A and B are shown apart, each in its own frame.
Chain A
Amino acid sequence: MKLIILENYSQASEWAAKYIRNRIVQFGPGPGRFFTLGLPTGLPRDHPESYHSFMWNNFFKHIDISPENVHILDGNAPDLQAECDAFEEKIKAAGGIELFVGGIGPDGHIAFNEPGSSLVSRTRVKTLAMDTILANARFFDGDLSKVPTMALTVGVGTVMDAREVMILITGAHKAFALYKAIEDGVNHMWTVSAFQQHPNTVFVCDEDATLELKVKTVKYFKGLMMVHNKLVEPLYSMKEMGAERSQSKKPYSD
């Protein structure tokens, strides 16, 4: 695991963005060679705060992605399990997920894999924990009865199959979950801990999120920042990479 500790939310976000950018550029995507970026799913389609709106406003409308290359789980599909199975097939067809980017909940969940989710689970329909329903109530005018109780989600196993996993964790309210995820054992009550068994994980966090970690852990990883920062500097661009195709740079790994 690489644990990247930045001072605050903005810096953590920026570091993560630069890292993802470099990874995409170095991968050299092209027609038929997809850089498959995995992201966790959320609310149903119809809602104005739906995941589709969220993704459109915060990501898709700012980039030049082709709509055909966007795959979002459809919570309104007639046969939900079939929708989930088809999603797994699409991932395989695209060559597997190159990089999965996600956050964790205060209860240590990744995507909607709530405590108790199998660590080898696949994309499926998941019942939501009361904490998650309460957290989502703000999108439904505070009316608990309107909040969906189920969601489609990629499984822990699905994410474990990704070639690389990046988890973003910011804020003091996530500190305990981060501690459980990296300093305690692998446990299905804290599903993010599954990534201790993934060969290629990056945790990007801010100072507040480290509040429950041992000082030793924090000092160790802060000490590695000089080396880790080489992953984001220099910042590559597609145009440059085109010219330097012959000298391919391998990303640093531990």
Chain B
Amino acid sequence: MPSNKSVSDAPIVQFTNCRILRDHQLQREDLWVREGKILNPEKLFFDEKGSADVQLDCKDSIIAPGFIDVQINGGFGVDFSLATDDFKSGIDLVSQKILSHGVTSFCPTLVTSPPSVYHQVLPQISVRNGGAHGAGVLGAHLEGPFISKEKKGAHPEHCLRTFEAGAFQDLLATYGSLDCVQIVTLAPEMRRSSEVIRELTKRGVCVSLGHSVANLSQAEEAVQHGATFITHLFNAMLPFHHRDPGIVGLLTSDKIPAGRRVFYGMISDGIHTNPAALRIAHRAHPKGLVLVTDAIAGMGLAPGRHTLGQQVVEIDGLNTYIAGTKTLSGSVATMDTCVRHFQEATGCSVETALEAASLHPAQLLGIEHKKGTLDYDSDADFLMLNDSLYVQATYIAGEEVWRQDVSGM
């Protein structure tokens, strides 16, 4: 059919025989893509009198927006908290490998490190679009060092800091620069945290609460000053108590400013959180749940010893501990495994599970107008999955960047 387009000559691809996730539902619709964005076929038909150049049969796959991982410390032997000479190629390697897990955008995460590490590493992280080379980098997630000693988890104690003296200036001096920083995790009970949170929020950095012994009022105050995320709910914070729910209480707090939503990361690898706890959180606040991997360098590699910043961790199956201890440190679960486990553990719908890994992180970072959905004019970053939620193919900007090898690799 002749395609006579008045707006652009770029080829139009029509993905047919698929179910797409749109408006929170799987719908039997075709997906139209042009110039790396999702196209509105009705406007194409009536306004431009155009039609598809290429039609691809998706063999009844599910098409979902690409996954967005906002907490990933490394993988495949690469540790984002290690200032190596070939740091950039480390980012490249991870961004390329995670395509097969369905991740199309991510935030390389740095655990608590000495200032020298931040000063060396951060300038080497740049926000960039994804493509055949790998998933897009949205910006860094700095988890620490302004966190609580009591809840340091796997973070090295000697690198913990406070910003009592100079508040935001201390933070800036520690990190060196906030240019490509997307998220900062800190403990809100620390003195002068409100000023810091306000300043970070003003600069468009998402503030997350974690590795903290804050009570609910301290957490609520932090949210009022701009905090919008909770780092790996339940882990590295005070347990829920019925007279002081702590940070966990934010899920049902009535002190959240109008029009704002608190999001919370969950590592649903089956280890960090008991499925019952996962269900409690999900049922209490389903729209805030953001799936994260918190993956470490050992992800994708054989069991054994690997580094996590200044620490050594040991991997045994899906469990990752600080070497010689039973302290959990990160995970080796992949994003698609987390999505499947989440769906199984909560019994939620496929749509809900997929949105927890795509729409919700996009909403957290305020980028849902271009990522995290299959709405018209969004970036065409999407996945083809089978009914059991195994990724069959990954697309970024409308181009196929990974496909499941038919031989079953």
Contacts and interface: CB of A to CB of B under 8 A. Distances in A.
Interface of A: 52-53, 56-57, 60-61, 64, 66-68, 70, 72
Given A56-B46, A61-B30, A66 B51 contact: yes
Interface of B: 1-2, 4, 30, 41-42, 45-46, 48-51
6 contacts: A56-B41, A57-B42, A64-B1, A66-B51, A68-B4, A70-B46
A30 to B, nearest CB: 14
A17 B41 CA distance: 25
Which 8 pairs, one residue from A and one from B, show the smallest C-beta to C-beta distance?
A67-B49, A56-B42, A67-B45, A68-B49, A52-B46, A66-B1, A60-B45, A56-B45
A50 to B, nearest CB: 10
A57 B22 CA distance: 15
B42 A52 contact: yes
Contacts of B49: 66-68
A67 B51 contact: yes
Given A60-B45, A66-B1, 17 more contacts: A52-B42, A52-B46, A53-B42, A56-B42, A56-B45, A57-B42, A61-B42, A61-B45, A66-B49, A66-B51, A67-B45, A67-B46, A67-B49, A68-B4, A68-B49, A70-B46, A72-B46
Contact of B41 (A61, A64, A68): A61
Contacts of B4: 67-68
Contacts of A72: 46
A175 to B, nearest CB: 35
A67 B1 CA distance: 10
Contacts of A68: 4, 49
A66 B2 CA distance: 8
A66 B1 CA distance: 7
Interface of A is mostly: helix
Contacts of A56: 41-42, 45-46
Nearest to A53: B42
A169 to B, nearest CB: 29
Nearest to A52: B46
A9 B355 CA distance: 38
B42 A67 contact: no
Nearest to A66: B1
A121 B46 CA distance: 28
Contacts of A57: 42
Contacts of B48: 67
A72 B42 CA distance: 14
Nearest to B4: A68
Nearest to B49: A67
A67 to B, nearest CB: 4
A76 to B, nearest CB: 12
A45 B41 CA distance: 16
B212 to A, nearest CB: 46
B19 to A, nearest CB: 15
B33 to A, nearest CB: 16
A72 B49 CA distance: 13
A70 B49 CA distance: 9
A81 B118 CA distance: 70
A72 B51 CA distance: 18
A67 B41 contact: no
Contacts of A67: 4, 45-46, 48-51
A210 to B, nearest CB: 35
A52 B43 CA distance: 10
A66 B45 CA distance: 8
A61 B42 CA distance: 8
A56 to B, nearest CB: 4
Contacts of A66: 1-2, 49, 51
B404 to A, nearest CB: 29
Contacts of A60: 45
A133 B270 CA distance: 57
B194 to A, nearest CB: 43
A160 B380 CA distance: 48
Contacts of B1: 64, 66
Nearest to A56: B42
Contacts of B46: 52, 56, 67, 70, 72
B396 to A, nearest CB: 26
A31 B52 CA distance: 19
Contacts of B30: 61
B34 to A, nearest CB: 15
B281 to A, nearest CB: 36
B27 to A, nearest CB: 11
A70 B46 CA distance: 8
B32 to A, nearest CB: 10
A63 to B, nearest CB: 11
Nearest to B48: A67
A52 B41 CA distance: 12
A70 B119 CA distance: 61
A52 B42 CA distance: 8
A68 B6 CA distance: 13
B375 to A, nearest CB: 14
B23 to A, nearest CB: 13
A167 to B, nearest CB: 27
Point out which of B1, B4, B30, B42 has the most chain A C-beta atoms below 10 A from its C-beta. Answer: B42
